[in-house]
A and B are shown apart, each in its own frame.
Chain A
Amino acid sequence: MEQQNVNNYRKPLQWGELDPNRHRNMFVGMWAWMWQRITAVAIIFLLGLHVTLTYKPWLQFLLLLAVTFHATLGLRVILLDFNLVNVKYQRALIWGLTALGLVIAGLIWRAM
């Protein structure tokens, strides 16, 4: 690449600037990845609250939900990483594992 040409180039489009359809570039797998990170931050935040505010049912419920989402999505990545599930089922894994996790969380909440 010649230096003189580089100067004439426009810097790369990184986020689809000016594109009204930029949101279409986020697929379900990426939402899963983002949601797992959001819940990770939420767990840290809610755990801090949990220690500070002893027993609050709504807080415990939110914490249980955050842990459920984080764990199920993490399990999906582990299954894919170690080739325990074919990658073509990656979408089904999101819905399937999340549904399973929510059922288990419901049972735990009921038993508490």
Chain B
Amino acid sequence: MAQEQGNTRKVAIYRYDPTVGGDGHYDHYDLHIEDETNTTILDVLLRIQREQDSTLAFRYACRVNMCGSCAVVINGREGLACKTNVSDFAESKDLTIRPLNHFPVVKDLVVDMGPFFEKYEECLPFFEPRDMSEEPAIIRPDSIERRAIGFSTECIACGCCVSSCTMVNYHDGYAGPAPLNRAFTLLLDSRDALYEERLDRVLQSCYNCRTEFNCTEVCPKEISCTRSIKFIQRLAIKEPFRAKAKSKAEAAASAPAHGENVAAEPCAAHASGEAGQCGCDENLDTGRRNFLAKVTVGLGAVSALTVGGVLASTFVGQSLDKKEPVWVPAGKLGDLKEGDVTTVNLRYVENVGFYNQERVKPVMIYRNQEEDKVVVYDSRCTHLGCSVHWDARQKLFLCACHGGAFELDGSVKAGPPPRPLATLEHRVENGNILIAMV
């Protein structure tokens, strides 16, 4: 009866024997599981080891999602074998279990975590108190600092995030999500004394993250390492300003009282031969450097304001002002061909911001004496502003580059132009035609 209630699963497990070598292969096992909701992948591995293949190697310790040693890739996704239930996968689905990516395989599912922990140690994953105190620290759970750290301290260093991260594969120097997450928890801890040292070590590393969120998706503790890395990246942005402020503070601390010239003598650190630790440059005194910095910033601001003002008054101011049209003569009305279109180049002077510029503007004038009609068309295409010309043979206005065509009345015949040709205002005085240019 119990046999009928369960389900037989096909389990494929990656096998690698270091004494044989090679690339490894998958061994397939059939396992009957009575209650899949209460059976973990770790149970499956243990049963296969006990019942079918005693040579199968895998690693586990706590069985309660705390130690992280049983991390494997199950059906393509990283997870803890002791946390993942068989019922998490559809009944019809086979189980495929293999070791983590990016870790050397020792045997079967066991990987060498050495490279991972070497990178972990590079990020100084330990707490160094700033002030020695016998009293326990008071950390308010609602403080900004504690809330920012959040669940990031729950990391069990199982390596799932590193296995899922593709950037670990591409950048040898990249510490990876877990070490950066650990560094993040300590960087945000105001009690910690190793802020600079730790930040220096993760600065290069943190920008290798490509915001793929693979680490966040697979983390068995539901920590977002991407979030931690983003925090470090933002800290890194502030870093140059912080270093400058620190050197200023140190220079001020070592400065003699009563306004004496600070450049007159080197600082204490230089005097003792600790070059590079004092934060100042002995070749340039700080007073002069500050003056140069202020002059540079001032000149930059004045230049930016000047250029901005000129550009604004030229382009924005022009468009805001209501411009009076310039009536430009286009010749005698009688000289225009009757019943046809004549192209005329208008020459006039336009005021552009601070100066006047001579313009030549071609317009196309249609004259029909029978209907007592004169229409002045703009020669710019309504699509992208390219040139339009009159084709007397086809009796069409043709666009220069886009295959656009307009009828004699200005309406669109073909091509991309979305609107008919624009018309210009005109008037006739003493037989002369005048066209308004705005």
List the interface of chain A (C-beta within 8 A of B): 1, 5-6, 8-30, 33, 54-55, 57, 77, 80-83, 87-88, 90, 111-112
Contact = CB atoms under 8 A, between A and B. Distances in A.
B99 A13 contact: yes
B418 A112 contact: yes
A13 B234 contact: no
B416 A57 contact: yes
A10 B105 contact: yes
B230 A30 contact: no
B101 interface: yes
A35 to B, nearest CB: 12
Nearest to A14: B169
B402 interface: yes
Contacts of B112: 1, 5, 9
A9 B14 CA distance: 14
Contacts of A28: 213
Interface in B76-115: 76-78, 96, 98-106, 111-112, 114-115
Interface in B21-80: 21-26, 73, 75-78
A111 B78 CA distance: 48
Contacts of B26: 18
B164 interface: yes
A23 B227 contact: no
Contacts, number: 126
Contacts of B213: 27-30, 87, 90
A55 B101 contact: no
Q: Which among A13, A55, A77, A112 has the greatest number of chain B C-beta atoms within 10 A? A: A13
B282 interface: no
Contact of A10 (B24, B100, B231): B24
Given A9-B112, A21-B96, A82-B234, A55 B214 contact: no
B226 A55 contact: no
Given A16-B76, A17-B23, A55-B416, A25 B164 contact: yes
Contacts of B233: 81
What class of interface size applies to chain B in its complex with A? 35 or more
Contacts of B224: 87-88
Given A9-B18, A25-B77, A25-B164, A14 B101 contact: yes
B16 A25 contact: no
Contacts of A11: 104-105
17 contacts: A8-B21, A10-B23, A15-B101, A17-B23, A21-B75, A24-B75, A24-B76, A25-B78, A25-B101, A27-B213, A29-B213, A33-B210, A54-B401, A55-B401, A55-B415, A90-B216, A90-B226
B214 A25 contact: yes
B76 A25 contact: yes
A26 B198 CA distance: 31
B211 interface: yes
Nearest to A21: B76
Contacts of B214: 25-27, 29-30
B105 A13 contact: yes
Contact of A13 (B12, B19, B101, B217): B101
A107 to B, nearest CB: 14
Contacts of A80: 211, 226, 230
B166 interface: yes
A28 B103 CA distance: 24
A14 to B, nearest CB: 5
Given A30-B166, A87-B230, A9 B212 contact: no
A24 B111 CA distance: 21
B204 to A, nearest CB: 17
B240 interface: no
Given A20-B96, A29-B211, A88-B224, A9 B76 contact: no
B261 to A, nearest CB: 43
Given A10-B16, A13-B99, A19 B106 contact: no
Nearest to B26: A18
B104 A33 contact: no
B403 interface: yes
Given A10-B24, A30-B166, A55-B403, 8 more contacts: A1-B114, A10-B16, A10-B105, A16-B98, A33-B211, A33-B212, A54-B402, A57-B416
Contacts of A21: 75-77, 96
A79 to B, nearest CB: 11
A87 B226 contact: yes
A23 B401 contact: no
A83 to B, nearest CB: 7
B76 A10 contact: no
A30 B212 contact: yes
Q: Which among B75, B212, B233 has the greatest number of chain A C-beta atoms within 10 A? A: B212
